[in-house]
Structure 1
């Protein structure tokens, strides 16, 4: 009787944690979509393809986490050993992928700044002649002018 109660507790804990993972996957998906939407005007100012694809990676990872967590919830509720084992392997792979992306983002943080400054300096010369560059710089100037109060 105690073993059955303990397994029932594990079953519902696994379901609850998978529900939490599903919500986390949706949050990552939403953050990636918002980052893609907000960063789009500034992508013309950088020549790094890694940074323009980072929000897309977040969207894909969010979808994968949501799907895997959904299968984990189903495996927990149905008590299917194969689904739970597959779910565990997928979670391990997702954790390793997130760790790798996090480390790559942290390591390449300085490269983004250097690339951004280099691209800014190269493209400012095209401001009078190139309409796309002019529009991008106008957006940057409008957005940055709102932060005047942060400078002390």
Structure 2
């Protein structure tokens, strides 16, 4: 029985190493999402106010998603190091949910790509036609034109 256990030990070590690397990459993507959300909230506020008819929560969604992924990425590394079966099962369930959410987001973006483009064109045209120089949309148009050297 001991020889069989000795044969599987390198395989388990290899699988643990791969899972830790995957969890670390997953954690890095969470940090990137978090950084993009914070960057979007701080620096893209004028652009977001220009293209969105109402206030958009996209930066907050990115910040929340990034934070969640960072927490669960750390949980995955901890579960792998610990080797606890229930923690690994919970981590696998979370990864499955994240995969399904990404699949739904990708399909939705593909299906609604024309509506997104039309909304952007309509709101930008509306901002240009109703330009008065004083409201937030007019300042956003000015900012876009300055940054694009128009």
Give the TM-score taking structure 2 as reference length: 0.82
Shift of 1:36: 3.4
Q: Which moved more, 1:109-118 or 1:70-79?
A: 109-118
Q: Is residue 94 from structure 1 mapped to residue 106 from structure 2 by the alignment? A: no
Contact 1:48 1:112 in 2 (8 A): no
1:15-61 deviations in whole A, cap 9, x for unaligned? 22211211121112212322333431022323455x93333322222
Q: Aligned equivalents of 2:135 and 2:70: distance in 1?
A: 41
Q: 1:48 to 1:37 in 2, by over 3 A?
A: same
Q: Which moved more, 1:106-115 or 1:12-21?
A: 106-115
Q: 1:47 to 1:34 in 2, by over 3 A?
A: closer
1:112-152 deviations in whole A, cap 9, x for unaligned? 22112222232334322643233111101112227xxxxxx
Map of 2:46 onto structure 1: 41
Matched position secondary structure for 1:52: coil
Q: Aligned equivalents of 2:124 and 2:28: distance in 1?
A: 38
Map of 2:25 onto structure 1: 20
Q: Aligned equivalents of 1:3 and 1:55: distance in 2?
A: 46
Q: Is residue 2 from structure 1 mapped to residue 7 from structure 2 by the alignment? A: yes
Matched position secondary structure for 1:145: coil
Contact 2:53 2:123 in 1 (8 A): no
Contact 2:20 2:76 in 1 (8 A): yes
Deviant stretches of 4+, over 4 Å: none
Contact 1:23 1:66 in 2 (8 A): yes
Q: 1:133 to 1:3 in 2, by over 3 A?
A: closer
1:44-89 deviations in whole A, cap 9, x for unaligned? 323455x933333222222222111111111111110010000000
Q: Aligned equivalents of 1:143 and 1:137: distance in 2?
A: 10
Give the TM-score taking structure 1 as reference length: 0.81
Map of 2:111 onto structure 1: 107
Matched position secondary structure for 2:132: coil
Segments of structure 2 that go 5 or more residues without pairing to the other structure are 1-5
